[in-house]
Amino acid sequence: FPITSQVQTAQLTRKHYGITSPISLAQPKEADLVLTQKLIETLRPFGVFEEELELQRRILVLGKLNTLVQVWIREISQAKNIPSSVIDNVCGKIFTFGSYRLGVHTKGADIDALCVAPRHLERSDFFSSFYEKLKEQEEVKDLRVGSFVPVIKLSFDGIEIDILFARLALQTIPENLDLRDDGLLKNLDIRCIRSLNGCRVTDEILHLVPNIENFRLTLRAIKLWAKRHNIYSNILGFLGGVSWAMLVARTCQLYPNAVASTLVHKFFLVFSKWEWPNPVLLKQPEDCNLNLPVWDPRVTPSDRYHLMPIITPAYPQQNSTYNVSTSTRAIMVEEFKRGLAITDEILLNKAEWSKLFEAPNFFQKYKYVLSCISCWTLMVRINHFNKDLFLKTAPTHIHSPFTITILCNQCHQFEIKAEFCIRSVYAYGVQHNVLFQNIFCVQHKKET
């Protein structure tokens, strides 16, 4: 893992990144490079780095998938009586986004992919004929269509892949196509624009950081820290992967010459003192005159109530943290402050990096726990205080998961038995706020 030298970083400051001037252009010192190497060694046991052999396997699988897309597009083109002269040149392409595209995926992580096709292919073709073509492949297992998001999910030679679909208003898809081009969005339906958004945001992030390798190493550290401290979850009101990536990218913009050890410390410094709800922006929002809804509290009243806005850099700009609540923001700010205190000690050689990644003892910290049980079953049996509780649920014709909520003193254990299948169990630590005479869920832990 390369560590950028002073000569290399001096060249990086020629370009201005972000919407403000950098806070510091200081070059890394020898001590910073040593601390960065120590950070790498601390991260290794957590499996955040993938072996080169496994990485090559992923590249091979994506290559096979891309070839499969090319064959499928030609077959569909022939079936739709497209002229032979066009079929000879028609192409599609598989793009990646998310953690794999950012270069921060962990061992065994899935790949988020996007199938981009020319204008004569329909979305229905993707979910019918391409689905059937995938089913014919020996390497493909566990093939299914997503329940809530229009996506094909599969395991290709042991690698989990989620594939979205978008068709562009182009006769063919060039090999060197840059999805950041806003002109590609013209004449597209909203479903294709949404599918393109993941790739466009990921590519913009990589183009808006001064040093990609320093950004990647810092992001690996921050993502691990967030997961260890139970604040990595967009669904539960914390931050998801793209939000953490944008916070790290903003830190890199403010300290363009810093190496990862410094950037991790500056990350906690910046966001422990950030004056929310001032938004985090990687670039000035641009209006492409396509009349798509964008995040703008001056125009959209609901945007004014977002508590921790982190705005995606690609048009149409959106707030990636709309699920954040008052309590979850308070949790994250408190964790930022703790992270700053620990990294202060690390920079002074009073602590090791391992201290930053120590998981807090959730069940010792909170006296009361709010347990939410999400399941598909029709009856759940709960044993609490040696008594059996039976909770009946929705009628049999409802095929959606339901949630049972129990508030209890965490020192009293309870046993859960389901007639069929428990989907997941969430535990929330609860504190009583004397001032507001209210109850806030202030921490969570997901148990599989």
pLDDT in tens, 86-125: 888 889 999 999 999 999 999 989 999 999 999 999 999 9
The answer, yes or no, to whether residue 361 has pLDDT greater than 60, is: yes
98 is in an annotated binding site: yes
Nearest to 196 by CA among 166, 170, 161: 166
Report whether pLDDT(386) > 80: no
| 88 in catalytic set | no
pLDDT at 95: 98
Q: Which of 182-196, 222-236, 347-361, 405-419 has the lowest mean pLDDT?
A: 405-419
Q: How confident is the model at residue 397 (pLDDT cuts 50, 70, 90)?
A: very low
Residue 224 has pLDDT above 50, yes or no: yes
Catalytic residue, candidates 129, 155, 157, 162: 162
* Stronger pLDDT, 420 or 104, i.e. the higher one: 104
Q: Is 112 a catalytic residue?
A: yes
Would you call 149 exposed, middle or buried from its count of C-beta atoms within 10 A (0-12, 13-18, 19+)? exposed
pLDDT tier, 286 (very low <50, low <70, confident <90, very high otherwise): confident
pLDDT for 149: 77
- Structure confidence by residue, pLDDT tens digits, 42-56: 999 999 999 999 999
Q: Phi and psi (nearest 5°) for 373?
A: -110, 115
Q: What is the pLDDT of residue 447?
A: 40
Dist CA 332 CA 137 (whole Å): 45
Q: What is the pLDDT of residue 441?
A: 42
3-state SS string over 389-407? Answer: EEEECCCCCCCCCEEEEEE
Cβ atoms of residues 90 and 74 within 8 Å: yes
Q: What is the DSSP string of 280-325?
A: B-SS-----SS------TTT-GGGGG-SS-BB-SSSSP-BTTTT--
How confident is the model over 302-329, as a mean pLDDT? 96
Give the domains, in start order, of the chain with CATH numbers: 30-40+207-360 (1.10.1410.10), 52-203 (3.30.460.10)
Query: Which is catalytic among the residues 100, 232, 315, 426?
Result: 232
Q: Find the catalytic residue in 110, 157, 182, 344.
A: 110
- In sequence order, the 6+-apart residues with CB closer than 8 A to the CB of 171 are 86, 90, 118, 119
Q: Is position 189 annotated as part of the catalytic site?
A: no
Quick check: 297 pLDDT over 90? yes
Judged against a pLDDT cut of 70, whether residue 3 lies above it is answered with no
User: What integer pLDDT is reported at residue 147 of this predicted model?
Assistant: 67
* Global pTM value: 0.84
110 is in an annotated binding site: yes
Nearest 5°: the CA angle 188, 193, 196 is 125
Measure the CA–CA gap between 340 and 265, rounded to whole angstroms.
6
The annotation status of 116 as a binding-site residue, yes or no, is no
> Is residue 316 reached through a cis peptide bond, with omega within 30 degrees of 0 on the bond before it?
yes
Whether 413 has a pLDDT exceeding 80, the answer reads: no
Residue closest to 157 by CA, chosen among 62, 93, 69, 50: 62
Q: Is 223 a catalytic residue?
A: yes
Do 410 and 361 form a contact (C-beta atoms < 8 A)?
no
pLDDT, tens digit (0-9, with 9 covering 90-100), for 48-83: 999 999 999 999 999 999 999 999 999 999 999 988
Q: Does the annotation mark 162 as catalytic?
A: yes
97 in a labelled binding site: yes
Of residues 340 and 418, the one with the higher pLDDT is: 340
d(CA 132, CA 126): 9
Q: Which of 17, 100, 195, 223 is catalytic?
A: 223
Q: Is 333 annotated as a binding residue?
A: no
Confidence (pLDDT) at 425: 62
pLDDT classification of 365: cutoffs 50, 70, 90 = confident
Whether residue 373 is annotated as binding a ligand: the answer is no
To the nearest whole percent, how much of the chain has pLDDT over 70? 78
Mean pLDDT of the residues in the chain:
85
pLDDT at position 390 over 60? no
Query: Per the residue annotation, which of 77, 99, 195, 243 is the catalytic one?
Result: 99
Q: Which of 77, 93, 112, 315 is catalytic?
A: 112
| Residue in this structure with the two tokens 């050689």, named with its chain if needed | 349
pLDDT at position 82, please?
Answer: 87
Consult the annotation and say whether 218 binds a ligand: no
Band the pLDDT of 408: cuts 50, 70, 90: low
Closest CA to 260 of 224, 308, 313, 314: 224
Higher-confidence residue of 413 and 103: namely: 103
* 142 counts as catalytic: no
292, pLDDT greater than 70: yes
